[in-house]
Amino acid sequence: MSKNHRYGRLPPLNALLAFEAAARLQSFTKAAEELHLTHGAISRAVAQIEERIGVALFKRQNRRVYLTLAGQRLLKTSRQTLDALTETVEEIHRHDIDSPFLVVSCEPSLAMRWLMPRLGQFKTLCPEIHIDLRMSGGPIDLLESGCDLAIRRLDFSVKGDYQITKLCAEFAGPVCSKSYWFEQIQQDLNQADWLHSRTRPQAWYDWLSTQKDYTSWQARNEQYYDHFFYTLQAAQDHLGMAIGSTPLVSDDLKAQRLISPMGLQPTGYEYAVLTLHSLAQDQRVTLFTDWLMGSMSSD
C-alpha cells in the first residue's frame, strides 16, 4: 500500500483537533468554547472522522458524550501525535537563527555557582536573546537534546562533528570557611572532616596525588554528598573541607565565603563550549560564547 493511499484515509488535522478537545473535555460545547467554534462545527468534525473510519467514537446518553473503545484509542494516539507536532514546531522555532531563544545545557554545579549569578549581565548586554537553561553534565547529543550549545568540563571525549571553544583551565584544592580553618581545626588538615561528592569521588585523592607529603595526611572523618554543589555548600557552612575548583568557587573565594589555605593547582581539565559546526554563523551562539569567554577571563 502506498503512503499516499494510507495517508488518504487520515481525517483532516482540524477535525482531529476538534475530536481531541471534545474527547478530553467530554463535551462538544466545552470543546467549541475552547477552540472558538460552534457546537455544530465540533459535531460535523467528529462525524467526518467517524464516517472516514467507519466506527463510532462517542456514545451519546442524557445529553452527555462518552468515548467508545475506538474513541479512547484514537484519543490516546491523537494526544501523542499532537504533542509531538507541537514539540517539533517549538523546537524548530527555538533553533531558527532568528529565534530569540538560545537553549543552553550546563553542568548543574557550574550553572548554580557561576553561570546563573551572571545571566543578568548577559541579559543587560543582549536583551533580545532569551536563555533557556537546561542542567545536565557529561557527554551530550545536541541535536537529540534540542540544545544549541553545551558548557562542559572536558573530562570525556567529544564527538568529531562538534566545535570546541575553550573557556578556561580548571584549578582545584581544599577549600573551607575561614572560621573552620583557623578556629575549628587550627590549620591542621588531619583534624578536618573531608567532604566528598559522589559525582567526583576521586577529587580528594587526585589532589593528594599532587602533594609531596600526601601520605602524612588523613581525614578525621569523611562525609559524602550526592552532588558537587552540595559538597561546596557544606564547606561554606563550616561542616568540613572540600576540594573546590575554579570557576565554581571563584565568587566564594572573592567574597571570602570560602578560603583555599593550601592553594589551587591545575587539574589538567578545561571548561569549554560545545556547538555544532553548522551553528558557527549563528549570531546568538557567537554573542553568548564571547560573553562567556570574557566573563571567565575576568575571573
Query: Are 95 and 146 spatial neighbours (Cβ–Cβ below 8 Å)?
Result: yes
Number of domain units in the chain: 3
* Those residues with Cβ within 8 angstroms of residue 279's Cβ, 6 or more apart along the chain or in another chain: 148, 149, 163, 285
The tens place of each residue's pLDDT in the chain, 299 residues long, gives 445 445 566 788 889 899 999 999 989 999 999 888 899 999 999 999 998 888 899 998 877 888 999 989 999 998 888 888 877 766 665 555 567 889 999 999 999 999 999 999 999 999 999 999 999 999 998 888 889 999 999 999 998 888 999 999 999 999 999 999 999 999 999 999 999 999 999 999 999 988 887 667 888 999 999 999 999 999 999 999 999 999 999 999 999 999 999 999 999 999 999 998 765 578 899 999 999 999 998 87
Same domain membership, residue 237 and residue 293: no
Cell numbers 488535522 correspond to 13
Give the range of the structural domain holding residue 279, as residue numbers without chain letter.
101-169+270-298
CA–CA gap between residue 124 and residue 224 (Å, rounded)? 39
Cell numbers 555548600 correspond to 233
- Ordered alpha helix ranges (H), 64-196: 69-95, 108-110, 119-125, 142-145, 178-179
- Per DSSP, the three-state class of 132 is strand
Same domain membership, residue 276 and residue 263: no
| DSSP bridge partners of 67 | 58
Give residue 2's pLDDT.
45
- Of 75, 95, 115, the last residue of a domain is 95
Q: Angle CA(233)–CA(236)–CA(241) in degrees, nearest 5? A: 95
- Look up residue 216 and give its DSSP letter: G
CATH of the domain at 212: 3.40.190.10
- Of 95, 127, 158, the last residue of a domain is 95
Same domain membership, residue 274 and residue 264: no
- Of 95, 122, 143, the last residue of a domain is 95
Q: Say what the pTM is.
A: 0.68
Q: Distance of CA 21 to CAs 16, 74, 216, 259, 296, Å?
A: 9, 12, 71, 59, 50
Give residue 191's pLDDT.
94
CA–CA gap between residue 240 and residue 194 (Å, rounded)? 6
Same domain membership, residue 82 and residue 54: yes
Same domain membership, residue 235 and residue 123: no
Give residue 94's pLDDT.
54
